[in-house]
């Protein structure tokens, strides 16, 4: 199960902090996507995803992270039920991405989660911060 809490912080722009607790995997990634869609629909445009209390991220969890980044860019999602099509969408995004996400950033991943992010290449396109104040200040 994945627990989620939300804080709105003021930096240069309003930043929504979505704090996760639990495992981000096949049983929970759609929950993350649904919450991100709802936040975007409510007007959130800058999302900081706090991973401090996430102790596991699976391949489905990576699809959830990528989908959340797409949502915060205002883009259409690949259907996660299409399996490999969703992974190909991630690969295409990584190849075309010349800069890191501007409206979606990650905060305090545990070492095991950081290793997954590094190995998958997600840390190359999703800025990762260890300090919340610095992360909030990085949004323009």
* CATH number for the domain that contains residue 8: 3.30.750.24
Domains in the chain: how many in total?
1
By the 10 Å C-beta count (0-12 exposed, 13-18 middle, 19+ buried), 1 is classed as exposed
Q: Is the pLDDT of residue 41 over 70?
A: yes
Give the torsion sign (CA, 68, 17, 130, 27). negative
Q: Alpha-carbon dihedral of residues 56, 134, 140, 45, nearest 10 degrees?
A: 30
- Residue 118: partners with Cβ closer than 8 Å, 6 or more residues away: none
Domain that holds residue 13: 2-137
d(CA 136, CA 15): 6
Q: Is the pLDDT of residue 84 over 80?
A: no
pLDDT at 21: 98
Task: Give the mean model confidence (pLDDT) for residues 116-125.
Answer: 91
Name the pLDDT band for 98 (thresholds 50, 70, 90). Answer: low
């Amino acid at each position: 199960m994945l627990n989620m809490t939300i804080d709105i912080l003021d930096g240069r722009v309003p930043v929504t902090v979505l704090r996760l607790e639990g495992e981000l995997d096949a049983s929970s990634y759609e929950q993350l996507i649904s919450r991100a869609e709802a936040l975007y629909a409510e007007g959130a445009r800058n999302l900081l995803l706090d991973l401090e209390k996430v102790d596991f991220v699976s391949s489905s969890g990576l699809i959830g992270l990528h989908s959340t980044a797409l949502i915060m860019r205002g883009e259409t999602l690949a259907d996660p039920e299409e399996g490999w099509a969703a992974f190909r969408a991630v690969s295409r995004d990584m190849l075309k991405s010349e800069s890191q996400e501007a409206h979606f950033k990650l905060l305090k991943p545990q070492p095991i989660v950081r290793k997954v992010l590094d190995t998958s290449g997600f840390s190359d396109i999703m800025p990762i911060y260890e300090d919340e104040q610095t992360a909030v200040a990085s949004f323009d």
